[in-house]
Amino acid sequence: MVKKRINILGVTGSIGQSTVKVILSAPEKFDVHVISAHTQRDELLDLQKKLGATHAICTHDDDGAARLNDVLQESVDLTVSAITGFAGLRPLLTAIQFSKAVGIANKEPLVAAGPLVIKTCRAHSTKILPIDSEHNAIFQVFNEKQRAGIERIILTASGGPFREWSIEQMREATPEQAVAHPNWSMGQKISVDSASMMNKALEVIEAHYLFDMPSDKIDVLVHPQSVVHSMVEYADGSVLSQMGASDMCTPIAYALGWPDRIATPGERLDLASMSALSFEALDDKKFPAVRLAKACIEKGLSACIALNAANEIAVDAFLNRQIGFLDIIDCVQHSLDGLDSGSKNIDKELHLEDIEALDMDIRANATKYIKITH
């Protein structure tokens, strides 16, 4: 059997660890080439031994980013992109040029630079395999040949830890309460995003770029059990969904095995043991993030960059106890309000440097806003 040559960016994180688990359950299928981490050096070296990876790079080192860029310029079958945040954009763009396929968990680069990521993939004939569970679900049931008959895609949301909390309770929420997700075990940033519904907001933009769907054809439905991972509704009334346990090993195995299916060591769905599957509309008053994201799609890429950058700064400030939980959305809203309407139209220009410059600008302004208001 020919082994698949794989890179794993962000190997020490939650998605990285699940990827390692799937690979180690079928080591005869994979040959690990590059793995990267940011700060967890010992963990990285340990993983290099376990996986037999050729290169292990710590990007927090002085020359780490440059060394990663070098080693990514060797051909592989698949790169798993699992760095958290906008920081994953540059490595992803390099990996796209030298990988037959990219398994993208790292949603922020798609939100802030979706058109550039898609364009780069097209230029290098690189296949995108979504790993974010909702987008992986949609990918599995989205029949491109029947695109004209697709009425909408429906992203499901667990509702996060604050689904039943009042706005007053959320105002007092601590970082510990925000990261305590009821269904999924994930990194800190995405856990806070899930609590604020910003995760779903980012996913709406991610879906817009990945599946080329307008914002009015992307809906969100709260589904607390996280069994139905998302759906596609067709003109004849058929609604196709993908179901599975709340375990990222399934979408990761889908990407690692594609176009075949491989077994995973992860959890299995046991429908008979479940009493009910429920669905409810999103409470827009408590969770305005999805509405903000849809407005950003209408405004264009600059707004999507601003939403993502301000959110990254605000989540960091919340985790460091500088601001309250509701201040996260307030900071994002402030950054969107302040977007200079005369600023360069990034949708048309689409240079990485312009995207990075606007991202940095928004971060600086959001940091200033937090300092002034707290």
Residues that bind ligand NAP (CB under 6 A): 10-16, 37-40, 59, 82-84, 87, 105-108, 132, 184, 186-187, 189-190, 248
- Is the Cβ–Cβ distance between 178 and 325 less than 8 Å? yes
Instruction: Kindly tell me which of 194 and 335 has the beta carbon lying closer to ligand NAP.
Output: 194
Residue with smallest beta-carbon separation from ligand NAP: 13
**Shortest distance in whole angstroms from residue 202 CB to ligand NAP:** 7
- Cβ at position 230, least distance to ligand NAP in Å: 12
In single-letter form, the type of residue at position 140 comes to: Q
CA dist 177 → 99, 180, 330, 354, 357 (Å): 39, 5, 19, 37, 34
CB nearer ligand NAP, residue 93 or residue 339: 93
Identity of the residue, 194 or 302, whose beta carbon is nearer to ligand NAP in the bound complex: 194
Rounded distance, CA 186 to CA 328, Å?
19
Q: How far is the CB of 287 from ligand NAP (least distance, A)?
A: 17
State the minimum distance, in angstroms, from the CB of residue 168 to ligand NAP: 28
In whole angstroms, the minimum distance from the beta carbon of 188 to ligand NAP comes to: 6
Residue placing its CB nearer to ligand NAP in the complex, 59 or 156: 59
Owner of token pair 């359950």: 25
Please report how close the Cβ of residue 369 comes to ligand NAP at its closest, in angstroms. Answer: 22
DSSP category for residue 28? G
Q: Identity (one letter) of the amino acid at 43?
A: E
Give me the least distance between CB of 227 and ligand NAP, in Å please. Answer: 16
The smaller minimum CB distance to ligand NAP, of residues 105 and 213, is found at 105
CA distance 288 to 201: 9
DSSP state of 322: S
CA distance 77 to 201: 31
Q: What residues have CB less than 8 Å from 70, skipping those under 6 apart?
A: none
Residue 217 is classified by DSSP as: G
Would you say 150 or 312 has its CB closer to ligand NAP? 312
If the CB atoms of residues 31 and 132 are measured against ligand NAP, the closer one turns out to be 132
Q: 150 vs 191, which CB is nearer to ligand NAP?
A: 191
Q: Is 295 exposed, middle or buried (0-12, 13-18, 19+ CB in 10 A)?
A: middle
Instruction: Collapse the DSSP code of 132 into the 3-class scheme (helix H, G, I; strand E, B; otherwise coil) and give the result.
Output: coil
**Of residues 69 and 234, the one with the C-beta less far from ligand NAP:** 69
Find the shortest distance in angstroms from Cβ 238 to ligand NAP.
27
Is the Cβ of residue 20 or residue 150 nearer to ligand NAP in the bound state? 20
CA distances from 8 to 15, 23, 36, 149, 322 (A): 10, 11, 7, 36, 33
The structure tokens listed for 38 are 């940011």
AA identity, residue 303: A
User: CB-side exposure of 99: number of CA atoms within 13 Å?
Assistant: 30
Nearest distance from residue 60's CB to ligand NAP, in Å? 7
For 67-103, b/e burial (b = at least 16 CB within 10 A) is bbbebbeeebbbbbbbbbbbbbbbbbbbbbebbebbb
Q: How many other CB atoms sit within 10 Å of the CB of residue 152?
A: 15
Min dist. Cβ of residue 367 to ligand NAP (A): 16
